[in-house]
A and B are shown apart, each in its own frame.
Chain A
Amino acid sequence: MKALINVGVAQIGFANQPSVLRTILGSCVGICIYDRMKKMGGMAHVLLPNKIGDGKDEKYADTAIPILINHLLKDGCKKEFMSAKIAGGASMFKFKSNISLGEIGSRNVQVAREILQKHGIPLMEEDVGGSIGRVLDFFMEDGRMKVKAAGEEKLFYKV
């Protein structure tokens, strides 16, 4: 059955073909990983780049991405068939560079790329940065990612 599954802030969602994972992003980054053979995948919605202290692992790129990968491996996905796409990481339109909160979007993107690379998951496409809010849909039938932002839609097909 085709379902639309909403993934909230600091959550990780999983789905099979033909379902769709959806999330809404500001400075957060959505990391989508797809196994093209099993036609299943998962999406993490992270708030911050690195875990410090004792926050929930799902909030941070460096702890959420390994959870996402391991869950998929446990469900029978194979690393050689997995690939990633990311979206989000926007920043406030105008802010002075001395406000570190303003840099969170780009730091999220940076660390998400690094962690994916560290785990050997190729990053196929990304739609990041700027000041737009993004509605991200991740389709399990073919792993495509749809980004709706500022009234326009973009599609990303590479898996």
Chain B
Amino acid sequence: MLTHVKNRIESIINNINQLPSIPEVASHVLNMVNNPDIDFKQVAAEISKDQALTTNLLKLCNSAYFSKGKEISSLDRAIVTLGIKEVKDAVLVIATRTVLDKVVMGYDLTKGMLWQHGVAVAMMAKKIAMLTGEKARADIAFTGGLIHDVGKTVLALFVQNVFKDIMNAVENQSLSFHSAEKEIMGFDHQEIGEKVLEKWKFPEILKDIVRFHHQPFESSETNRKMVSIVHIANSVCLMAGIGIGSDGLFHELSTEAIALTGLADVQLESLYSEIPELLNQTKDIV
């Protein structure tokens, strides 16, 4: 382990100002929607506090992916027509864009690649949730998929400096890339992502998705299925080359995660083969 690298990463995660930010309204909306006694009027009032976000939100709600053909002219209409969970997902898409839509050095992702990856994994995870009896939590799969790799944006420059060491650990010790990150830098992008979500005051289930998306069976049992869904969505998108970087496919595809979702081989293969159609849908958003 390179202690000086570890120390520098530690100082970043201990200084909340150095971690990426999103508009506060987005965190509030996310937590309001998570609450069973949610009041739609309050959510609309909260969103409208942020004028720029509201404008972009209405635009996004009228995109083909969210609107499903219906004309949306106001926040209230959006909530009534699309549902509060869809609107929450759209808010998160807008709120996280500046954090994710950038060059990610070290992982060799050019501008837009991590963003497209997040959006594709979000859509894929939502699709898998619908297929596996998790319709009620499909929005969580979407949000989790969107932000699962946020930690990469913080680790980027460190990974760039120690990439050779990480790759050597992958090759010589047969470690998955995230394990090699931890071996060399003391942290992996999942742990850093969890820290970012702590700052954003996101709920436990999303923190678990980010923290364990490469090792779903280490998450708490309650959240394991949702983590597995994002794990599979991420694997399928990477295999199709969506957001693949210097870490390549040096990740594990968990048999247990597949078994837990109950997805059959043919279903997995057809999710993979429908990637071009899914990418067309992301064009509305990215």
Q: Residues of A with Cβ closer than 8 Å to B?
A: 8-10, 23-28, 47-48, 55-56, 59, 90-96, 98-102, 104-105, 130-133, 149-151
Q: Is the CB of A8 within 8 A of B251?
A: no
A96: min CB distance to chain B, Å:
4
**Interface residue ranges of B231-268 to A (CB < 8 Å):** 235-236, 238-242, 244-253, 255, 258, 265, 268
Total number of B residues with any Cβ neighbor in A under 8 Å:
34
Contacting pair A92 B239 (CB below 8 A): yes
- The CA-CA distance from A94 to B178 in the complex, in Å, is 13
Report Cα–Cα, A145/B247, bound state, in Å: 22
Q: Is B272 in contact with A95, judged by CB distance below 8 angstroms?
A: no
B273 contacts the other chain (Cβ, under 8 Å)?
Answer: yes
Contact yes or no, A133 B249, CB < 8 A = yes
Q: How far is the CB of B139 from chain A (nearest CB, A)?
A: 26
Q: Count A-B pairs with CB separation below 8 Å.
A: 112
Docked CA distance A48–B167 (Å):
28
Q: Is the interface of A mostly helix, strand, loop or mixed?
A: loop
A56 to B235, CA, bound (A): 22
Chain B residues near A101 (CB-CB < 8 A):
235-236, 239, 253, 265, 268-269, 272
Interchain nearest-CB distance for A155 vs B (Å): 18
Q: Identify the closest chain B residue to A95 (Cβ).
A: B253
The residue among B163, B177, B269 with the most chain A CB atoms within 10 A of its own CB is B269
Identify B276's interface contact among A56, A99, A100, A133, CB under 8 A. A56
Give CA–CA (A9, B244) in the complex, Å. Answer: 13
Q: Does B286 contact A (CB under 8 A)?
A: no
